[in-house]
Each structure stands twice: as structure tokens, then as C-alpha cells.
A and B are shown apart, each in its own frame.
Chain A
């Protein structure tokens, strides 16, 4: 009995440490108190170290007593009898979640230490670390989620903090627009996720993953669900995963997310949050065993994303965009691996890729120096007019280059086929409303029409 209570304790601490960090950093900000940089860095360090140590202890404990599935029940937080709905907070430690949560702590910890120095004297230091804590909490909750509601909760925290971090430099228009785009894409993924959760709820009557995967511990579970339902729920979850991981057709947001300070790009979009989609697929992978068509869908999505990523990363002339597409390639490959049922390989690949990419992104400003050192070591120019002789490009090459340079035209396609009809529809509604109000008021009815969008006058520079 004591063994179980110890593991319950440990499990609680793992989840609680980022939550406590969030409160410790957030409440003083709300109260208008200014914590010094050192205090914030120390708090972050303490929370990450505690979280990391307890999750490692948990791993040891599980290895020692051979348990492969440790659920932590936190009970029903919302319970609506008539609708048969309960918000059930439950965390699960198993072979999938433990490595992923340890990875989150290691990478977040390293990046936290990096950012504590890198953002020294920065005006948004507190804001950065608050969002960081939010992100960490989101990562831990999603990694350990034992019910789909819990997963959605963590998933939302990750989405919110990611979008806000993309828009970290909010005094420039570019980051804000791109943050907005990331947010919109995430909402789309969330919608798919939510519909999937409802469908599942409808099918199984509970939001527990157990319903989808049978009761066996990961990855051995068997989903107790018929193939068509699996395909329906699975496709929705696939859409959600594609949005979150920047796979086709949502790849446009991934390079745009590189607007924030270097450490946040590194850990959040290069390493962790980009893998959240594939993590979700891994989590529900028993579904794939049920539906063969779903499996094919997953493989195709992964393949298309990987090919797009590898093409696009070849034409990027700047470090961060190139690494963003390189990440996409790997995420695509991991998705293929999941589709093929290579779950452990996918997990190892995911962890390895996250670590490597974090290192590469943190060292992104060294690219120039590395390039020089390489050329010195090799003793000749690796590229240049002498090395690359000009050759005439064929039409195919041009088309391929254009395709890559425009990142597969994905953004344009989404804008044309989804955003534009959407806004046109609402503009039409707006025009109708205006006609109606104008009719009622017997003249122009909107004051805002008469205001110019910028300032008082063109010359107003004082």
C-alpha cells in the first residue's frame, strides 16, 4: 500500500511543480510586485529540478516494481448529471508519458537556464518566464493526461502560451500578425480535437482513453471500438495533430512561429510543441490497429509533410526557417513511423529529434562562425561561384524551386479556400446589417466609417 501512496505522491509533485511555478510567478505580477530577475530564475530552476527529479524517481519506482501503468486520480471537477458529463482530471504514468515528461523537463530546464542569461535586462523578462511556466504546465499536463478532457486542458495551455510567445515582440507588427496566425491555426486544431472528444464521449460514454485503447497499458492496449467509429474519431484527431504539429496543410505557421526570442523558438516550436501532435497520435495509436484506412491516412499525411519539409528546407536562406522546415520533415517521418506501427521507434525518434533541434536552434547565431571553421578545416570553399558552376535551369527545376520557395503554396491555398470565403461571408453579413441600420436611422449609421485608420493626420509626427 505504501508503495502506491509513494507513487501517488510523486505523481502529484510532478504535476504540481509547474503549477506552483505558474502561481509563484503570476500572482506577484497580478499584485503589481516586481520580482527580480534572479528570484524568477531561481524559482524556475527549483520547479524544473523538482519536477525532473520526481519524474525520474517515478520512472525508477515503476522500473523497480515492474508496474507499467500508474494512474493518478484527481476526481471529477465538473459533474453535470443530466448531460452525463464530468470533467475528469486524471493523469497516467506509463511507457509513453514518462519519457515525454522527462524530455519536457530537461529541455524546458535547459532553455530556462539559457533564457535567464539571454533575456537579462530585457523589458519582457517577467512576461517571458510567466509564459514559459504556462507552457511547461501545459506540456506536463498534456504529456501525462489520462483523459481526453485533461489532454485538451494541457493542449490549450500550450497553444495559448505558444501564440503569446510568438507575439512576444508585440511592438512590431510582424510578430503580432504571425502570433495571430498561429493562434488561428491552433483554434482550428482545437475545434477538431473538441469534436473528436465529443464523438468519443458519445461513443463510449466517458472521456477516458481506456475506452479507445482498451485497458491494457501503452502500447499494448486494444481499442474497443468499431472500425468506422475509429476512422471518424481518428480522422478528427489526425486533423488536430496536423494543426498542432504544423503538418500539411497547416505547415505555414511553423516558420512564422520563429518570431520570438531565440530560446523560445528553440524549445517551443523546434522541439516540444511541434511534437505534441505526434504525441497525441502515439497516445491513441491503438485506434490505428482497428482501422486500416486510418493507418493509410496517417502514413500519407506524414509522407506529404516530410516531402514538403525536405523540399522547403532546401531553399531557405536563413537559419531559423531552414530549421523549422527541417523539423517538419522529421515530424512527418515520425508520423509515418506511427502509421507503420513502429511506436517505440517513433518515441525514440521524437526524443532524439527534439534534443538535436533544440541544440541546433540555440546555436543558430553561430552558423556563420561554424561555416568559417568548416571551410578552414576543409581548406577550401564549400560553396561559391567556383564550386557551383552556373547551369541553365529546366522548367521543372524552376517549378520545383518556386514550389519550395513558396512553401508548397499552402498558406496561399488556405487563404484562398478557407479564409477568403469565410471573411467574404461575414463581410456580406456586415453589409446587410449596415443597409438595415442605415435604413432604420435614415442615413449613414456608423460613426466608425468616418474615422481614418491611422492617427489624426498624415503629417502628424509630433
Chain B
């Protein structure tokens, strides 16, 4: 048994190679998806592994590494071009920018580089796989008719050149002489040729000229990439060993990381992946799949020699014949073959520590060891079944390689056909081209090859983004200038103020609120409102973090039931517990023998909820709420917010904040939003957290507040309001220079972005002096949420465009309650902008729910710009993370995203698979991104270029995103409307084209901007609603 001998060898000189294997695995692990358990979905840059590289390099690395698309395909961009979404101006400008000084270099006297590229972009180039190319040349009319887009001038140029060539052809000798055979093909007497024959002849001539020309040029040989044995075998035999290997490995991985779905735990799972696999499969077992028949034997020999996972990998690498320099590549490819599962194992062993079933370190190494052992088994089986090769694995791979026919790719024909098409576009005649020397041909084909499909897509994409970016910057400049002339509608003091999350979904809500009640002022701040806590609600079992993923909270806050209701609460909690246990029993037992029997017999009763939930979701939800209220905690609760013992912690007395810490929180938020002057406070200040609730949606967490670790941010808003209302806290806040007026009251609220409901907290404690203000504010918010729902409905194809605002609200409510709804809301889809600055100059600009809005007042910042620094340190990575996750899931929802939602299947309570057995799917699903436009986010920040550059210098993470082209960055001075854009490390002024048709259209209301339309909308400037004094 060779495995045993090699194992012994490996054990003998174990230490040095073992370490290196582990290091290689850890290096490769950085390529794996970093999504943790789906219960907490944190948006992040999908290509985090390549963030060190500039964006365009990184997406290419992504293509090489994951086989995932970097941009849309050319056809899609061409569709956008035809639809006018990408314009000629954008294309030209982007090509010029991209080439710089090289743009106007002439190429062989045929045209400038810029012209050639422009022609290649404006017209579809037909390049398929070799077989398609063969078909196009031989079977279609590519050589009979000019391409549709060829201009008449170019047609006649080429045809007349061909006529001239025929006329002169008698005198031509040498290389061109063979082209004369072509004339024979069309008949000797060229005088009798019809126009169609001339056209066809010209094209044939052009094609042969191109082909001969390219053939005379020498092409650079391409380097061969490393090929995994599985890929080699797949190409040689058509059989995929991964199919067998993965089926078993997926099942085992799922059992290994299971967080409590299955009734039986995997035996020995605490000992590690490799160890438990060896223990499970080393016994002889009758009936195991045929390809696994030698597995127990091999595992026993490994077990008897006490081999570790690393040693097993060493043995496998040797047996598979992986040479030393290829090992790193092989291991990376192997891990990525089942990247989702490898990724979650890596996350669980190294990062996530809050799961109930933890796994020991080294699990990923164990998984790789098992995977390689299984691959060996599968290769041996394939060898004996298909290749009739029963020897070593090396022999099998050799046999497969011998089988592999080595087809000659049509690279020259491909190049020639590309040139042939470009020649028609630019009117290059066969005569001109025949004059070219070999060196010139070389230059020409290099020129065309350099502008490959990938490069064309990059340019298209830049143009696609440029169109939107310029429109946006232009709109901001115009609107800011217009806002200079508008006084705040509230005179001295706003009626009320409201702070919401910076989330793009709150953009429309704020805009509508400002339209309904112009005398209100809105702010945007990260949705945890500086209250980073572990929170436990009255009906919750555990503390859960409510703060951005990067922060580990120190403080614990708990929701308590008032003294009066304690008895009721205890009774209900007990009832909940019993019902919970009963339901748990029912759910698990309905899958077993006897329990299932009973469940089956009474199962007909399930028809009622089944039919009701599917056919009458709204009614069912109402009934459920009615009865649910008997189970929920009593309506009056309070937060246990103040700590009376030293040091924060989860136990009694340690729960909560000290007043000093509360003052820190209040000061922090008020400084962030720039509300520090006593005269600026309204009598009522609302703090509104947000979240989302939908049914039958494993990705629900992805819809909630990103600043609250994918949870609902209501408790944070509630806690903040309570802190800011406390007079002791206010005294301490006043000591730090922010004097909150005595008549200002804070109220916490929670906005559900899915059904657009809003609840307010602790209204019982609102003094009656503020009752009237509150009722007015509430009425305005009611109307705003109706209008917000109405604006959202334009995106839902299943909602008619002529809905009234109340019907729209009912529509979004029904969505949230429908178990068959795959799109409860569109989440962050279409996000493309992030504005950091005072609301004054962006208020009233119609941003189509595409912008994150962060409040910041540069006038109140210090010389170090420390407030901006701390805002951006959170906002840029978070917003860019969301934006990039959407970008990648949108350009390739199959590889970067998690495919279609329809076959999703929750596995191990950790993630989703597609169908019955697949890799663990990470990223966003197709239905979530279907209306998204993959644009890198544009940050527009109200500050000076110098301040921004100094923040970039201080903050490496931000600099990487902004300087590496992962996002666009611009700064604005609203007083002068001067915008400067970051390019190549410098800020350059953004030129707004003066006046004319680019004037920003003005409307009276948001409704006027979007009514009757479902597509992406341009920018509008909405006039302030007139207020009656």
C-alpha cells in the first residue's frame, strides 16, 4: 500500500513541510468568501481579497481566480449604448482620458489610436469561440455584404479600391498574386460583375488581405496556466470527479458545521474535521459507493500511523504528483472548488465566535486533507472505469493527458476577423493594407489585440459610470447654487427635527417628510446613533450586538417590563416558553416515526394556515397580530439604561451606562450631525432607527440596518432619546459646550423599511406641553410614510402605477406579510451616491433613493477635521462595502452572488444551498439585485481638498478604497458650488458645462418626478413647499 509507506515517510520528517502546508492554506483562505452565518448579514466588498490592487486590476484577478465576470458583457453595454444610457460623449471622453497622450498617435497611417478604439466600441464586434468564428466566416453573409453599420462613404471607398486593384492586378506579382485566384472565383470578366458581386469581391479581398497580413506577423506565444487534475480529467473524459467528491464532502461539511438543525450530531465533531472523518469512515462498511471502496483501507493506514491532517495532505500532494512550485496554486484551486463551505469553515474556526456549535482550529486543513483523499479515490476509480488504467494516479493523469487532443486555436483567424471588421468601420481599403510591412502589421494587430474584449468592457463601464457621475455632480452643483437663494422655511426654529440612518432607503422618506412639513429639519447619522450595545428585548432570550460589525460593544442594555405588569409578563413568558417547547417538539417530532404518525393524522388541520397564509396574507397577519398580542410582552416597557455598579456587564447592576458615558454618546451624535448651538434645537427631536421584517426570507438580516450588524435599530434610537432627555446628562453635555434647551424633548422611533410602518417609543413620558407638537409631527410622518411607500411601489412591477398613496401603503404591507414574496423590498439596490455634508444644499434634490445621506457641518469641525475623520472612517467602508457587494453580485450573480433565490435551501442554520446539494452560496441573490445599476459609489463630501487629502493620508482603509478606484471621491464647496474630483491622487476642478439644455429640471413635488415611471430617473430639483405662516 503506497499510501502507508508515504505516510510513514511523511511522519519521519514531519515538521518542516507540515508548517508550510498550513501556511499555504492560510494564504489561500484569504481568497475564500468572508460571509459569516447568514443570521448576521454584513455587507462587505466581495473582492476584499484583492483590495490592495486598483479596482480594474482586482476585477481581472477576480476573473482569473474565481472565473467571475468583472463587468457586464459587451452585449449588455451595447444595449445600454443604444438605449442612450451610454453616450458618444462619454465614450470619447473616457478613451481620451484612458490613453492620455497616446490617444492621438497615428497607427500605420490608417488612423489614430483613439479613432480605432472608438470605432471598435461604437459597433458590435463579432467574436465568438472558434467554432462560431468558423461558422460566421463560412456560412453567414459576413463575406457577402458589408456590415450594417458601415457608412456609404466607406463602402464606396473599399469597393473602388477593389476595382482599382482588379484593374492593376495584371501587373502585380509576388505575394499578392495568389489573391488573383480570387478573381477567377468571381468570373473572368470583371466588367460584367453586378454591384452585389463587387461588394462580395471587395469583402473577400479585404478578408484575405487581413488574413495574409496577420499571418505575416508573428504572434507571441501564450503561457500555460496550471491545470488542476480534475479539470484535465474533465476535458479528457467528460467525467467530473468533483461531482462525486463534492456530494460526499458537502454532506459531511454540512453535518460538521451544523448549528443544531439535525437531530443527531456528527460523532467526534469536537475532535476536528479530519479526525471525525477518519473515525467515521475507517471502519469497513458494506454498501459504500463503488468509488469509495478503497477509502476505509487508506484511512485506517493513516490512522494507524497517527498521521495529522497536514501529513495526509503532504501524502496526497505527492501521490497526485503536484510539483513543489504548483502546490500553492493547486491548494488555492482545490479550496475554491468548494469555496462557500471552505469559507464558512474558515470563518467559524478563525473569526465568528458567537455560534452555538464552535469548531476547533485547523478544520480547514482537515477539510482539504479529506478533499484530497476523496479526489484520489475518485481519480483512481475514473482511471479504472474510463481510462482502463489501474496504476498510480500519475499514470492515470498521464493517460488522460495523452487522450487530450491538442486543438490548434484559430487565434490568427480571430485576429484577422477582428481587423476585417474594424477595416470596414474605418474604411481601410485592401490597397492601403497591402502596402503595410510586416512590422506595421505587427503593430496593427498588437494594437487591436491590446484593445481586447476585457479592455473594451472596461472602457464601456467607465463611460457608463461617467454618464451618471457627471449628471450627479452637475445636479449637485446646480442645486447647491439654487439653494443659496432659499431661506430655511422655518424662520427661527424648526417645528421638529428628525435624525434617521444614513441609509439610502431613508433618502426618500426624508425628502417626503420635508415636502409634507417644510418646517422640519432632517439629519442623517449612522443608524446605531453612537449607542453601541448588546441588547436584550423583553421577549428575547439572549443579548445581541446592535452596532456596526467592526465595533465590539462594552455596554449591555435590557428591556424591562414595568412593575405593574410584572405578573402579566411572567405569566406570558411562561406561556411562551411552553408553547415554544411544544412547537419545537412538534417541528422535530413531525419528522420522526411515531410523532410523524400523530402529526400526519391531525395534519389536515394544517390546511387552514396553509391556505390562509398563501391566499389571504393580510388577513392572516391581522389575526396573528391579534392573538400574538396575548403572547407578547405587555405594551409598557422601559429600558434598563442606567448602571449603578462599576464596570459594564450583562449581570444586574452592571447593565447600562453611567451618566458620564451617556453624555459621551449624546455629545458624539450631536457633534456628528452638527447640531451644537442652542438656538438650532427645535422643541421636538425625533431619533429614528430602522430595520426590515419579511417572511420566509433567510436573508432577512441583509435588509436590516447595516450600522446595527444586520439587526433592527429601534432600541438604539430609544436609548439615545432617553439619554438625551435625562437632565443630569444634559448638564454634563452642557459642560462640554452643547447646551440643549430645556424645552427640547427627544423621542425615539423605529422605521420598518419593508412595510413603511413607524412606531414611537416611550410616549407615556412625553410631557403634555409637547403633546401638540408631537401630534403635528406624527401627522406629517404618517403622510410621509404613505408617500414613501408610493414612491417605492413604482419599482414593483406587481404594483400598478396608478395606485393611491393609501393603496401603496397596503401594497407594501402585504409584501411584508406574504410568505410567497421573493422581493419584500429592493433593499439597497440602485445605490450609487453618498453625500456627506449639511442637508441645506442637498435638500429638495430628487436622488431617486440612490444616495446615502450623512449630516456633517464643516464649520463646526476642528483644524484636524476630527469629526469628519471619524464620520468617514465608518461611512466610507460601510457604504463602499454595500455598494461593492451589490456591484459584484449584479455583474455576476451566479459566481459573486448567490444565484436565484427560488431553489435556496437553508443548510446547517448557517447559509443557503441551491437545491438539494451545492456549494454554500454567498453574496446577494438575483432577485435582490435585478434593478441595480452596478456603479461604483461616488462620495461627495462638503470639505476642502486639503482636508480630504489629509484624512486620506491618515486613514489607510479609506485611502485604499478612494485611491484604488474602488469608489469615486469628490468634494464640494456649497457656497461657490465648486466641485473638485479626486483623480490620480489629486483633486481637479469639475467643469460644469454652462447653461443650455443641461439645466436641472425643476418640479413642485417628488410625485411629479417619478409618477408613472419604473426605470431609473434623472435628477430633479424640487422647490420648497410653500408654507402658510
B267: CB under 8 A from chain A?
Answer: yes
Contact: B916 with A178, CB < 8 Å? yes
Asked if A118 meets B822 with Cβ closer than 8 Å, knowing A351-B604, A399-B283, the reply is yes
B262: CB under 8 A from chain A?
Answer: yes
Asked if A316 meets B129 with Cβ closer than 8 Å, knowing A169-B900, A255-B916, A326-B596, the reply is no
B1027: CB under 8 A from chain A?
Answer: no
Q: Which residues of the partner chain A approach B908 to less than 8 Å between Cβ atoms? A: 317-318
Asked if A362 meets B407 with Cβ closer than 8 Å, knowing A120-B822, A458-B227, the reply is no
Place the interface of chain A in its size category: 35 or more
Q: A51-88: which residues lie under 8 A (CB-CB) from chain B?
A: none
Q: Which residues of the partner chain B approach A379 to less than 8 Å between Cβ atoms? A: 541, 573, 577
Contact: A329 with B596, CB < 8 Å? yes
Cα distance, A116 to B610, chains bound together (Å): 16
Contact: B576 with A333, CB < 8 Å? no
B984: CB under 8 A from chain A?
Answer: no
Contact: B267 with A409, CB < 8 Å? no
Contact: B610 with A362, CB < 8 Å? yes
Cα distance, A349 to B268, chains bound together (Å): 38
> Contact partner of B593 among A259, A306, A357, CB < 8 A?
A306
The distance from the CB of A449 to the nearest CB of chain B, in whole angstroms, is 10
Contact: B599 with A318, CB < 8 Å? no
Q: State the majority secondary structure of interface residues on B.
A: loop
> Contact partner of B584 among A306, A382, A388, CB < 8 A?
A382
Q: B892-927: which residues lie under 8 A (CB-CB) from chain A?
A: 900, 902-909, 913-918, 927
Q: Which residues of the partner chain B approach A325 to less than 8 Å between Cβ atoms? A: 591
Q: Which residues of the partner chain A approach B270 to less than 8 Å between Cβ atoms? A: 385, 390
The distance from the CB of B233 to the nearest CB of chain A, in whole angstroms, is 11
Contact: A455 with B129, CB < 8 Å? yes
> Contact partner of B405 among A110, A351, A450, CB < 8 A?
A450
Total A-B Cβ pairs within 8 A: 338
Contact: A355 with B610, CB < 8 Å? yes
> Contact partner of B905 among A116, A320, A362, A381, CB < 8 A?
A320
Cα distance, A456 to B270, chains bound together (Å): 48
Cα distance, A174 to B915, chains bound together (Å): 9
Asked if A356 meets B603 with Cβ closer than 8 Å, knowing A110-B615, A397-B267, the reply is yes
B87: CB under 8 A from chain A?
Answer: no
Cα distance, A357 to B287, chains bound together (Å): 31
Asked if A459 meets B409 with Cβ closer than 8 Å, knowing A118-B822, A363-B696, the reply is yes
Q: A277-331: which residues lie under 8 A (CB-CB) from chain B?
A: 306-307, 310, 313-323, 325-326, 329-330
Cα distance, A353 to B605, chains bound together (Å): 10
B587: CB under 8 A from chain A?
Answer: yes
Chain A CB within 10 Å, residue with most, of B259, B542, B696, B904 = B696
Q: Which residues of the partner chain A approach B288 to less than 8 Å between Cβ atoms? A: 406, 409, 412
A9: CB under 8 A from chain B?
Answer: no
Q: B226-278: which residues lie under 8 A (CB-CB) from chain A?
A: 227, 231, 234-238, 240, 243, 251-252, 254-255, 258-270
Contact: B610 with A462, CB < 8 Å? no
B82: CB under 8 A from chain A?
Answer: no
Asked if A169 meets B822 with Cβ closer than 8 Å, knowing A452-B236, A459-B222, the reply is no
Cα distance, A256 to B581, chains bound together (Å): 32
Place the interface of chain B in its size category: 35 or more
Q: Which residues of the partner chain A approach B904 to less than 8 Å between Cβ atoms? A: 262, 365
B453: CB under 8 A from chain A?
Answer: yes
Contact: A317 with B258, CB < 8 Å? yes
Asked if A365 meets B697 with Cβ closer than 8 Å, knowing A318-B254, A323-B591, the reply is yes
Asked if A405 meets B603 with Cβ closer than 8 Å, knowing A113-B615, A365-B698, the reply is no
> Contact partner of B916 among A258, A368, A383, A416, CB < 8 A?
A258
Q: State the majority secondary structure of interface residues on A.
A: helix
The distance from the CB of A421 to the nearest CB of chain B, in whole angstroms, is 12
Q: Which residues of the partner chain B approach A330 to less than 8 Å between Cβ atoms? A: 596-597, 600
Q: Which residues of the partner chain B approach A392 to less than 8 Å between Cβ atoms? A: 268
Contact: B283 with A395, CB < 8 Å? yes
Cα distance, A390 to B279, chains bound together (Å): 15
B128: CB under 8 A from chain A?
Answer: yes
B640: CB under 8 A from chain A?
Answer: no
Chain B CB within 10 Å, residue with most, of A325, A369, A411, A420 = A369
> Which residue of the partner chain A has the closest CB to B915?
A259
9 extra interchain contacts, Cβ-Cβ under 8 A, other than A113-B615, A334-B600, A403-B285? Answer: A318-B907, A356-B590, A360-B590, A368-B38, A379-B541, A387-B356, A406-B287, A459-B222, A462-B127
A-B contact pairs, 22 of them (CB 8 A): A110-B610, A110-B611, A118-B821, A175-B903, A175-B915, A177-B243, A258-B905, A259-B915, A317-B255, A326-B590, A349-B601, A351-B603, A362-B820, A374-B580, A375-B541, A375-B542, A377-B541, A378-B577, A388-B265, A390-B270, A453-B237, A457-B406
Chain A positions within 8 Å of B, measured between CB atoms, are 106, 110-111, 113-122, 169, 172-175, 177-178, 255-263, 306-307, 310, 313-323, 325-326, 329-330, 333-334, 345, 348-349, 351-360, 362-388, 390, 392-393, 395, 397-399, 401-406, 409, 411-413, 415-416, 420, 450-460, 462
